Structure 1
Amino acid sequence: MSTNDHHQPLSPLQWLSFLLFLLPGLPLTSRADLGTAARYPPPYLPTACYRNDPTPFPTSNLFAAAGDGIWDNGAACGRQYLVRCISAATPGTCKPDQTIQIRILDYGLVTTSPPSVSGTTIVMSETAFGSIANSTASSINIEFQQV
């Protein structure tokens, strides 16, 4: 290093280039929302979205009814969400590292069978609920994100 080398402050363009270089390595912030989920038993027909048509039901039985917060005047019909259990009133209720994809087929306020708890964000089929939590729980706290 010569005696003539001086450290110059970075120009705004150099700073921007540096930040853009670092950006891909930064952890992404989650776009997921937090809410609650309950479960509901069969029968699942008719639905508010598809009446008596069973064809929209996924063969995996991973489906749900939308609560008021995501119903959106019926626009939620057919939407798909990634859902995972994050906590519950009883410790050990959530199945760790389990995320499922569900399809909205109904409206939680008018399901044929009553939900285990009313007023939740999502009311899941028994199969969907049991995939991420102990199926004896009445409700859980969830993280969910539209796919």
Structure 2
Amino acid sequence: MGIWFSFANVILIGLGLCALVVADKGTATFYTPPYVPSSCDGFKNEGTMIAAASDEIWDSKRACGRVYKVKCTGGTNNGVEHPCRGSGSVTVKIVDYCPAGCRGTIDLSQEAFEAIADPDEGKITIDYHQV
């Protein structure tokens, strides 16, 4: 019994040390400069690795300042054979609101979108999670 008890403890400790990241699925589009003013920060320049949140993640403005890792998983319009680029993921900060009618779950800055996908695709499927 002693060896099984020790083995079980090792497994439980190992599982406790592993962080399980569950990604949500959605779509991403992009918007172009100028990026100010924004709904979160007014005229504060937050750089280019930024995004606007759709109603799905806006959370009554509580999304402001949240950081998301976004990974390209494919295209939506079959316009580009292989739309995902590089590592296919980017980390962005929510600085704006993508109003009703927003075409994606998250609207990336042009620079963030281009880091993970061919802009000719226009809209991509993504996995995303808050960091």
Tell me the TM-score normalized by structure 1: 0.73
**Which residue among 8, 16, 22 is the counterpart of 1:19?**
8
Q: What displacement does 1:121 show?
A: 1.0
Match in the other structure for 1:114: none
Unaligned segments of structure 2, at least 5 residues: none
Q: What displacement does 1:33 show?
A: 1.4
For residue 61 of structure 2, what is the amino acid of its counterpart? G
**Which residue among 81, 87, 93 is the counterpart of 1:103?**
93
Q: What displacement does 1:42 show?
A: 1.6
Give, in whole Å, the separation in 2 of the partners of 1:20 and 1:92: 45
Structure 2 counterpart SS, 1:97? coil
- Aligned pairs (5 A) from 1:51-130: 51-54=42-45, 57-58=46-47, 61-89=48-76, 90=78, 91-109=81-99, 118-130=102-114
Change in Cα spacing, 1:22 to 1:50, as seen in structure 2 (3 Å) is: same
Match in the other structure for 2:118: 134
Tell me how many residue pairs correspond in the alignment.
Answer: 126
For residue 101 of structure 1, what is the amino acid of its counterpart? T
* Aligned-CA RMSD value: 2.5
**Higher Rg:** 1
Structure 1 counterpart SS, 2:8? helix
Give, in whole Å, the separation in 2 of the partners of 1:72 and 1:19: 41
Structure 1 counterpart SS, 2:60? helix
Unaligned segments of structure 1, at least 5 residues: 1-9, 111-116
Give, in whole Å, the separation in 2 of the partners of 1:83 and 1:75: 19
Q: Deviations over 1:38-61 (max 9, x none)?
A: 00112222111112222xx13xx1
